[in-house]
Amino acid sequence: MIPNAEVEYKEALLEVTLLRRQPEMIKIDVGRQLILQVAIWFSLFHFTLCSLRAQEALPSWREGASKKAIIDFVERVTTAGSADFVPPEQRIAVFDNDGTLWSEQPMYVQMAFALDRVKILAEKKPELLDNKMFKAIVTHDREALKQISERDVLELVMETHANMSTAEFDQIVKDWITTAKHPVYKKPYTECVYVPMLELLEYLRAKQFKTFIVSGGGIDFMRPWVETVYGVPPEQVIGSGVKLRYELRGTEPVIMRLPEIDFIDDKSGKPVGIQRHIGRRPILAFGNSDGDYEMLQYTTSGAKTALGVLIHHTDSKREVAYDRESHFGKLNRGLDDAATNGWVVVDMQQDWEQVFSFQR
Amino acid sequence: MIPNAEVEYKEALLEVTLLRRQPEMIKIDVGRQLILQVAIWFSLFHFTLCSLRAQEALPSWREGASKKAIIDFVERVTTAGSADFVPPEQRIAVFDNDGTLWSEQPMYVQMAFALDRVKILAEKKPELLDNKMFKAIVTHDREALKQISERDVLELVMETHANMSTAEFDQIVKDWITTAKHPVYKKPYTECVYVPMLELLEYLRAKQFKTFIVSGGGIDFMRPWVETVYGVPPEQVIGSGVKLRYELRGTEPVIMRLPEIDFIDDKSGKPVGIQRHIGRRPILAFGNSDGDYEMLQYTTSGAKTALGVLIHHTDSKREVAYDRESHFGKLNRGLDDAATNGWVVVDMQQDWEQVFSFQR
């Protein structure tokens, strides 16, 4: 597509140049001129869209095997006439959130939110402190907190996030996300997002991909802010969630959040979440932990050309270097099997010119 | 928007006319000319989009209160500067399927599918006939079949549609939908769709609405064909569904359909399904039965200007006249409360110039 667009564009420019030199030609037919101009306009437009490639599209990605693999894949599936061409409506790209689009260290952002919530709730309801986990949170009992498993985290989240309407929860998240700051970077969490990944989201959408978030995190914890931060609308967010119930509060209909887990969108839950929400297999998947293994496996085992990408946290200076032994975002199976499975492993330190927007 | 676009368009045309009369002006500056042409092109484009209104957009809708209410609402929420303006990303329109977009008489299409399935399955597994419901189906025992409730239908569907992968089920539905015919119209079911509703879907999308199906029917029964028939992609389909499980069949990942109901997207389940999948409240909802009551209630009770529309099956000649006493698609509460709730009730006989495409 690009070479053609370039040729068309140059031909059109040539024609304009010729016309400039022969003003008498112009007099002949304004109608013909109009058609020509429209053609030039189209070519320009086309050329602009298509020129969103390597250099221009992903400036924070350093030249190298990772960037090349991603760009090559995207070019292959979006070039009409290519054997691997995929029609736009089937260009589904899925992104994990924690550790793939934004920081998940020193802890999941949603856990920070849950801890803050517990503190606020405990002020109003001191009886909450009868619960050991809540007490450990409020008293900053690090030893007790270390015992909390990922499953505990989810249950904590469910417990502290339920018994209110979805609209109320939405407002609580909005209020928190605009005020809370990352403990290390001292910036709002919504700035602790990876610049190269933001570029990737935009690049893919320009290539007519539909971008989805598929996260182990809470679906309704992400929706209030991902549209602004990632350009992903709420209906393209898949995540873990509590059971919901529609009811009338007087005459006002509300959707209540029940203190019961409905779905955990992690590990083998991710392909299930994808099927429930999207109903077709993605052709491009980005993750960073073993929680994303099945999502990448499902994506890259389909009949269509597909690509799986793991973001490997290798940068101890600009971010945090972690993988196999990490508490949040553990990456073992992914690293072991990436080569066999043909997955791209992005080396954050090597492949990214920039990590966070505030770092230069 | 329309008056402005018209003015711009006329001004641009005038300018072209003047230029035609004064060819010496053209000689001066091809660059300026190019800019002008681009402006004309934009105006034309803009004008074309905006001119999709009343007459042109909904030719199968007769002039009257229903059509006027729908068009007025859409104009109000899509006109920049209007007090009721809704930004494009928030223009969510939800449509029930059975009886709203396609025929649900003499029975739900998915039930016809399930009955056909039972017959095929019983040939391979005669032991299925030990089940009374299955036996009644295979032996066409009308009296026994009359005892089947809506809930039975769903369970029948779940039972006969499970224990296979989503890909296998998808293929079975595709094969069936291209061969099965409506028992009354003797046409493929995908032709037994309401022309005025197809026009409405297109009209709304041209007005930058995102159109979703929110049906009590099976989500994976609809997805294989709704994209072609309604222009609604699988990721914008919400429906009832079975539990799913990701697993490996050898090295091939599959998503298995388990014989257990996960979610029933009907009545108060509809607002829940909307929240789970879309995460924001629609501003426009179309239904035809009391199964849609809560969806319309939820839609029209929000802070934003919103509209609820009920399709009332009043046409015994071109379709079937049914409402309060019907087995499928019963409409009682909706008719009782429509006026109070400000919902539009579309009278199919009066308001629709055409029902099915094959009827003229």
Number of domains in chain B: 2
Which residue from A166, A253, A278 is facing B235, i.e. has the nearest CB? Answer: A278
Q: Is A287 part of a structural domain of the chain?
A: yes
Identify whether residues B84 and B35 lie together within a single domain. Answer: no
Give a yes or no: residue A345 inside a domain.
yes
CB of B282 less than 8 A from some CB of A: no
Residue A270 pLDDT exceeds 90: yes
B166 contacts A275? CB cut-off 8 A: yes
Residue A294 near chain B (CB below 8 Å): yes
Please check whether residue B339 lies inside any domain of the structure: yes
Secondary structure (3-state) at A104: coil
Number of other CB atoms surrounding residue A355 within 10 Å: 23
Provide the pLDDT for residue B318: 98
Q: What does each C-alpha distance from B15 to A33, B8, B26, B44 come to in angstroms? A: 14, 10, 11, 14
Nearest chain A Cα distance for residue B360, angstroms: 33
Q: Which helix (H) or strand (E) holds B259?
A: strand B252-263
Of the partner residues A20, A276, A297, the one whose CB lies closest to the CB of residue B244: A276
Interface pTM, i.e. ipTM: 0.84
Rounded to the nearest angstrom, the minimum Cα separation between B19 and chain A is: 8
In terms of domains, do A251 and A300 share one? yes
Element (H, E) at A178: helix A166-179
Which domain, by its residues, includes B41? Answer: 2-50
Contacts of A243 (CB under 8 A, 6+ apart): A258, A260, A261, A262
Say yes or no to pLDDT of A325 above 50: yes
Q: Does A245 touch chain B (CB under 8 A)?
A: yes
Instruction: Please report where in the chains the tokens 């429209």 appear, as a residue.
Output: A38
State whether A238 and A204 are in the same domain. Answer: yes
The answer, for A226 touching chain B at a CB cutoff of 8 Å, is no
A124 within domain boundaries: no
Cα–Cα distance between B265 and B275 in angstroms, integer? 11
Tell me, yes or no, whether B46 and B77 share the same domain: no
Same domain, A34 and A68: no
pLDDT value of residue B227: 98
Query: From CA A320, how far away is CA A233, in angstroms rounded?
Result: 29
Domain-embedded: residue A139: no
- Rama region for B346: left / alpha / beta (φ>0; ψ in -120 to 50; rest): beta
Q: Do B38 and A37 touch (CB under 8 A)?
A: yes
Do β-strands A210-218 and A164-165 pair in parallel, antiparallel, or remain unpaired?
A: unpaired
Provide the shortest C-alpha distance from residue B80 to chain A (in Å).
Answer: 21
Task: Report pLDDT for A95.
Answer: 99
Residue A142 lies in a domain: no
Mean of pLDDT values over A290-311: 96
Please determine, for residue A229, whether its predicted confidence score (pLDDT) is greater than 90.
Answer: yes
Of the candidates A262, A235, A234, A258, which has an alpha carbon nearest to the alpha carbon of residue A246?
A258
CA A88 to CA A254: how far, in whole Å?
36
Q: How confident is the model at residue A134 (pLDDT cuts 50, 70, 90)?
A: confident
The pTM score is 0.85
∠ at Cα B217 (B262, B73), nearest 5°?
A: 115
Residues B282, B264 share a domain = yes
Which of A193, A188, A170, A169 minimizes the C-alpha distance to A178? A188
User: In this predicted structure, what is the pLDDT of residue B125?
Assistant: 86
Both A200 and A276 in one domain: the answer is: yes
Indicate if A275 and A249 belong to the same structural domain. Answer: yes
> Mean pLDDT throughout A288-295?
98
Q: Do A41 and B40 touch (CB under 8 A)?
A: no
Residues of chain B neighbouring A251 (CB-CB closer than 8 A): 301
Query: A6: pLDDT confidence band, cut at 50, 70 and 90?
Result: very low
CB B67 within 8 A of CB B58: yes
pLDDT in tens, A193-226: 999 999 999 999 999 999 999 999 999 999 999 9
**Distances in whole angstroms, Cα of residue A172 to Cα of each of A104, A166, A176, B61:** 21, 10, 6, 44
Q: What is the DSSP letter of A52?
A: -
From chain A, pick out residues whose CB is under 8 angstroms from the CB of B245: 268, 272
Shortest CB distance from A30 goes to which of B20, B30, B38? B20
Count of beta carbons in the 10 Å neighbourhood of residue B155: 15
What's the pLDDT score for residue A130? Answer: 84
- Residue A81 at interface with chain B, using a CB cutoff of 8 Å: no
pLDDT at A360 over 80: no
B336 and B317 fall within a common domain: yes
Q: Indicate whether B69 belongs to any domain.
A: yes
If you average pLDDT over residues A350-357, what whole number do you get? 98
Q: Which residue has the tokens 């990214």?
A: A352
Q: What's the pLDDT score for residue A137?
A: 87
Interatomic CA distance for residues A261 and B332, integer angstroms? 35
The pLDDT of residue B135 is 85
Q: What is the CATH number of the domain that holds A214?
A: 3.40.50.1000
Cα–Cα distances (Å) from B110 to B154, B233, B286, B319, in that order, read 9, 19, 20, 19
Q: Are residues B12 and B76 in the same domain?
A: no
Which chain A residues are Cβ-neighbours of B92 within 8 angstroms? 235
Nearest CA in chain B to A17: B30
Q: How much of chain A exceeds pLDDT 90, in percent?
A: 69
Q: Does any CB of chain B come closer than 8 Å to the CB of residue A233?
A: yes
Looking at the fold, whether A82 and A42 belong to one and the same domain comes out as no
Distance CA B92, CA A21 (A): 53
Residues 6+ apart with CB under 8 A from A284: A73, A74, A91, A92, A93, A94, A204, A209, A299, A306, A307, A309
pLDDT digits (tens, 9 = 90+) for A17-48: 333 444 444 444 555 566 556 655 655 554 44
Q: Which of B16, B35, B50 finishes a domain?
A: B50
B237 Cβ under 8 Å from any chain A Cβ:
yes
Residues B213 and B284 occupy one common structural domain:
yes
- Report the percentage of chain A scoring pLDDT > 70: 82
The reply to whether B138 falls in a domain is no
- The pLDDT score that the predictor gives to residue A188 is 98
Q: Which residues of chain B have pLDDT under 50?
A: 1-28, 46-48, 50-54
In angstroms, the separation between the Cα of residue B28 and the nearest Cα of chain A is 9
B278 burial via Cβ count (<10 Å: 0-12, 13-18, 19+): buried
